[in-house]
Structure 1
Amino acid sequence: MTLIAIYNHYRERGEDGCTDAALCPHSLHQADLLRAELLDIMQRIELPVSAPAFPDEDCILNVTRALLSGGFLKVARDVDGLGNYVMLSHKHVATLHPSSVYHSRSPPPAWVLYHDFSISPDNCLSVATEVLPEMLVEFAPQYYLSNLPRSESCDLLMDLRDQLQDQSLFTVESEEEEKEEDKELCCLQ
């Protein structure tokens, strides 16, 4: 989300705003070119394009879902409430990079999607986004339910999946009962 805010700052102020905010204009120009290329592809294949609504909550949620859909292998869970994260696919322990907006947050996010992991004396996760475990079950169920190494995190996700399935079955049954009631009402009229 920070990167989107930086990009929007660049779009609003141009290269002159980069100096004030200590941003690299070349990198942001490259991001602008990439965005234009993606927009062109979307228009050619006739995908609907809407104006960005950042920082609208729905927009942020959709961006998080998109990131998680493509990067679900890079998820970590805080195991002690102190910001010590276990990466789900490798079981390495790491902390958030000191430059992360979540680094000094108390309590730290319980689950994060990260972009980079640096092996160093302090093993850091960088470019992190807070995610909800429900999103993991929704967007990457095959991986997390079949291939995730057995761990406490895996068990938590399996339990969550079972809870969501039970709620889903209850909702479907309730909707079917409502439809039956509606049919009866229609017959009576």
Structure 2
Amino acid sequence: MTSSEAAYTADTWPEPPLAGTEAEAVLGALERQRATVAWKCGGLDAAGLGATLGTSTVTLGGLLKHLAHIEDTHFTRLWLAVPAGAPWNTVDWDDDPDWAYRTAAEDTPEELYALWRDAVARSRAIVDHALAEGGLDQLGAYVTRGGERPNLRRILLDLVEEYARHAGHADLIRESVDGLVGEDPAM
């Protein structure tokens, strides 16, 4: 994924509206976090995506694969209450909880970028459909052991939190690869 493949430029960098609806603010924050991760991972080859920092084994490629998994499972499991599809349905997560991180080195950069982009596209389609049916208070189909169901707001906020956490990791790793720093492309 080159910078142009990330689909984010100085002119199209997503910013939440200053005075939008609640849904626009939440989705704007999520899109900004997605853009940050895309920018930090963009334009790197396998060596760049496989770089680690210090004693950590986390790589940018591993982050892309992990976030693709999170995108797919948050909406299939929590919103639709259906199992995630391939490749996630072939993994014994109890036996190998770090599978996405561990196996990213086996994938090409193109495969990792495509896996993440496709998962984001599926998530966007599910959220667009859900919002067309109602607002953020709608309950997902998943039911916890305690009988509770998450609303769309909670699922989206959990995803914002996940991206924000990993955008920080991506920032440090990317700086160690080639010195790229900052919060967004030069504006």
Q: Which has the higher contact order (CA 8 A, sep 6+)?
A: 2
Greater per-residue strand proportion: 1
Q: Over alpha carbons, which structure has the higher Rg?
A: 1
Could you state the TM-score of these two structures normalised by the residue count of structure 2?
A: 0.24
